[in-house]
């Protein structure tokens, strides 16, 4: 499995889908993309990452919804390597946190233009996930809650590796950012004594409630014009969205 430096391939992958607009890439185009990503190396599986695969952040809210072109853009991406089975992995973030984080990007200044008339209580992840599922019914689609990433990163990496690796480096990289060194050391010691621990038990062993770093796990929800009641309502609807997505046919949902 290869997970190349994004700087090596993002310029090519930014331009190629727009140029093709859903048409299949030629063999020559595919070779050029692989050369840019692998830089002379070889791999049986290639993992490409980009937070803007579906669109640029400033266009994430349009037509009163999240990622209205999710299905179309996913199809464009799949056509970059039309002979391969596409696999999409995506962490979903509470819109009450996600929208303010997008607006906090350096280039965003006009809140009204950024929100594009979207009701802050309305955005749903269920819709873009369903659009991707409809556009690519044969694709592998794996989703999880971004809030759970520290606990399930090893599972995410295992899916990215297509089950081909059992011990992947960096599995605790995110967990190390939100748990104290003492907590991480205790977790690693516990796991060393219990090598056959299943993933669910491993997550329970993280002791996140006891060893969490407060400032690392508490996210800001500050956005001009957003009331506390809207944030609470949006969070409740996010939980409903996640339950609906987890029950969708053809979706692999990774739960903490």
**Tens of pLDDT along 124-148?**
899 999 999 999 999 999 999 988 8
| Model confidence at 206: pLDDT above 60 | no
> By the 8 A CB rule, do 117 and 234 touch?
no
Q: Whole-number mean pLDDT of the chain?
A: 78
**Alpha carbons 96 and 76: distance in angstroms, whole number:** 29
Q: What is the CA radius of gyration of the chain?
A: 20
- How large is the angle between the packed helices 126-135 and 70-78, nearest 10 degrees? 40
Distance CA 184, CA 8 (A): 33
Using an 8 Å Cβ cutoff, are 140 and 88 in contact?
yes
Indicate the pTM of the whole model: 0.78
What does the pLDDT read at residue 254? Answer: 92
* 97-101: long-range pairs with CB below 8 Å, 24+: 97/219, 97/220, 97/221, 99/61, 99/123, 99/223, 100/220, 100/221, 100/222, 100/223, 100/226, 101/219
Q: What is the percentage of the chain residues whose pLDDT exceeds 90? A: 28
Tell me how many degrees the CA angle 89-252-8 measures, rounded to the nearest 5: 15
Higher pLDDT, 178 or 68: 68
Is residue 3 scored above 90 in pLDDT?
A: no
Q: By the 8 A CB rule, do 61 and 103 touch? A: no
Cβ pair 191, 202 in contact under 8 A:
yes
Mean pLDDT computed over 76-90:
93
> How high is the pLDDT of residue 225?
59
How many Cα atoms are found within 13 Å in the side-chain-facing hemisphere of 35?
Answer: 6
Is 48:34 a contact under the CB 8 Å cutoff?
A: no
Q: What percent of the residues of the chain are helix, what percent strand, and what percent coil, each to the nearest 5?
A: 50, 10, 40
Average pLDDT over residues 237-251: 94
Cβ 159 vs Cβ 254: under 8 Å: yes
Q: Who contacts 208 (Cβ-Cβ below 8 Å, separation ≥6)?
A: 150, 151, 178, 179, 183, 217
How much of the chain, in percent, has pLDDT values that exceed 70? 68
């Amino acid at each position: 499995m290869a997970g190349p430096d994004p700087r090596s391939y993002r310029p090519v992958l930014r331009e190629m889908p727009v140029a093709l607009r859903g048409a299949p890439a030629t063999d020559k185009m595919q070779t050029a993309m692989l050369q840019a990503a692998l830089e002379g190396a070889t791999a049986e599986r290639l993992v490409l990452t980009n937070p803007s695969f579906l669109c640029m952040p400033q266009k994430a809210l349009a037509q009163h919804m999240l990622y209205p072109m999710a299905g179309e853009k996913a199809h464009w991406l799949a056509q970059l390597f039309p002979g391969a089975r596409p696999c999409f992995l995506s962490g979903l973030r509470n819109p009450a946190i996600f929208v303010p984080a997008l607006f906090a990007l350096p280039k965003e200044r006009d809140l009204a233009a950024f929100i594009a008339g979207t009701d802050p209580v309305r955005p749903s992840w269920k819709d873009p996930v369903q659009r991707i599922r409809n556009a690519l019914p044969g694709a592998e689609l794996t989703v999880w809650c971004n809030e759970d990433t520290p606990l399930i990163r090893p599972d995410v990496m295992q899916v990215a590796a297509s089950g081909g690796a059992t011990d992947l480096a960096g599995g605790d990289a995110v967990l190390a950012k939100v748990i104290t060194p003492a907590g991480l050391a205790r977790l690693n010691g516990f796991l060393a004594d219990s090598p056959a621990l299943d993933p669910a038990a491993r997550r329970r062993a993280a002791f996140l409630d006891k060893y969490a770093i407060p400032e690392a796990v508490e996210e800001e929800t500050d956005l001009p014009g957003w009331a506390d009641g809207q944030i609470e309502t949006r969070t409740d609807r996010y939980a409903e969205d996640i339950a609906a997505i987890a029950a969708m046919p053809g979706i692999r949902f990774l739960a903490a």
